Structure 1
Amino acid sequence: MRLLDVKGVLDREKVIQETGAQIKIFENLHDRSEKYAVPSHRWGKDEDEVNYDEMTQLMGMAEPARNEIRRRAGYEKIIKSCEQAKKDGYRWIWIDTCCIDKRSGAELSEAINSMYQWYQESQKCYAHLNGVCGTFFPREQDLSKFAKANGWPEWFSRGWTLQELIAPKQVEFFNKDWVPIGDKGSLAETLEKITRIPINVLRDGVNPRHFCVAQLMSWAADRKTTRVEDRAYSLLGLFGVDMPKFYGEGKKAFQRLQLEIIQRYYCDHSIFAWNSKRQFGWLGDVLADDPSYFRGCHDVEKVELNQFVDEIMNYPQNRLGIARSPGRGSLVCLRSRGHTFRQQLAVFPLTNVGIQICLPVIPHRDSESVFRAILACRDYYGNLITIDFKSL
């Protein structure tokens, strides 16, 4: 992990015009006991940020080039972050714009895989809300000020800032002028309203992986990333999975992410619940195309398999939204093979022709060729969730 030496950066800034002055500002540290801070910010245009190469070569540049970099908004964020870290007593700081040498594909991949952990192990995260001008954190939606982000600061609409809000123990918010305006603990109720992330995750540090896949996905539903692939890559740490990065693969990245999650989150049927309200019509795919498909899943809860099997044996069809239809069949009696059925529900292996899964099925009241499979998860009203399948 490459960290910036806070004192080195600030000392260098004092002598930046002196010819021949050289100050080491980066250090590769492997000692996990080192304490460090991290900033979280809305990235500007690439030409506004300062990368690793520019930070390392700054002292050796000709004065016009050096001054151009120092005038950038991205450089100001680095200096302000270091000043705040120094004020809080931290020697080290990790900044995503300049601590990763993005010319190295291996280093970039490692950083993406490790980023959630790096934020989690930080002592404090400085969230810079560049669009907030006042000295108070906004408590209500304001479309006149934040029209591009559903009435809230744009920081809350970005893909990567989701993990940067959840992972760190402490998050302190700053306005555009780097004036502190609150922290994650004291603002937890407002943050829950903005993000729909449960307050016990925000305030008490409850591990988000205690929630089902569909609910975790719903937290990312309204967020955006500049590159399509980052819709998936920005969620790797939240789900604790790893996979190769292929910029250029587009939406395939999110498909691969779901397959990785299926292999890690055993027995969690909620990953298939994204179309439980049939809001996307008949799409013919068991996996979602994008996190936005999970927008309505913030109240979905996983049902443990033992409870699910016991419940499904006596579950009335009308609670599944299926009217009794003479001659159309009913739920198969599972009592005689309950143990075997539990085992079948517990795994859904990936095969060369798709996902193999065993689910209880009931007939659809409107179509002879469509059946409803029952998932081991329930909605806000306590009903087990069903999804439609068409027989071939």
Structure 2
Amino acid sequence: MRDTKPNRWRPQTALRTAALLLAVACAGGVTAGCTGDSPAPTAASSAPAPIAASEAAGARDLERSYQRVVKAVLPSVVQINTPEGLGSGIVYDAKGHIVTNAHVVGSADTFEITLANSDTPHKGRLVAAYPEQDLAVIELEDPPSGLRAASFGPSRDVQVGQIVLAMGSPLGLNSSVTQGIVSAVGRTVSEAPSDGGTGATLADLVQTSAPINPGNSGGALVNLSGQVIGIPTLAAVNPSMGDSSAPGIGFAIPSATVTRIADQIIKYGKVVDSGRAALGIAGRTVLDEDFQPAGVGVVEVTKGGAAEKAGIRPGDVITRVGNDDITTLQSLSEALVEHAPGDTVDVTVQRGSGEKTVKVTLGQLR
């Protein structure tokens, strides 16, 4: 997976449109589609089938729904400029807090924020970033009056097939809107650090067919009730096409995760309850004699953490957690997101030439 890291793409300085003109020469005979002696089309072949009044009314109602949602939500979607690139964000409250992706803010701590209804950038500062779930909060230094906070809807109500709109600043095009549906829910996806992500494994993501382009990261995925149900974060890539984006496969962090993390950052300046399980180790992927990933080597254990309490120690190689085989750090992260802090799971480790399984009461990701 590759996310929409804004510094990999830059806004275009100009948009060019090429027009292709097709001409048909009609000389020396009768050619279908040309004027002259060709027979006139019949009324049945030339006239489109009439659209039923009820269908037309339904289309107009849907169109008006789109327009109402765009008018209501777009003022809450902002463009974020950093020294490394650009991305999007959402006005979280009237005090000037902006929620976005951690990979959008990167290593920066000051920003220029452009609101949807203004071309004048406002200065912003980082409150805190939480790369483990790719979220961050920025605060406007001098919030303008009339700042409109977005409404966040419950992500538990999101249904496959639901129409959604993605709002943000793809390729630097401020206040852009794309449309699609919810394609799936409950996805677990890992970001690739090499492509600008934080390396986090993200759980319960909303998959959508709405195009997620570079610069959309941190923006809003919105239902037709005008509620933000997620933050667009990742676009799938197609390795068979040189890792280019796979059209129509994007992912958004669900609103329940966004609000839980953002509320803690605003209140405490950090995340104190991630809700994510952890073993309490530092590890690395180890390879077997055929140079294939074969487990996670424990480099360090956290003092008093879950692994240490269970007797896991540096030098052990974790090969299984619960029912999941572990071959890489990513597979370990993906196994752990299926559990909650306090769960007890069987963890199998190789120690020297032997193997042992221990019961571990999982701690919490910090």
TM-score, scaled to structure 1 = 0.26
Q: Which has the higher helix share?
A: 1
Q: Which has the higher strand share?
A: 2
TM-score, scaled to structure 2 = 0.28
Greater relative contact order (Cα < 8 A, sep 6+): 2
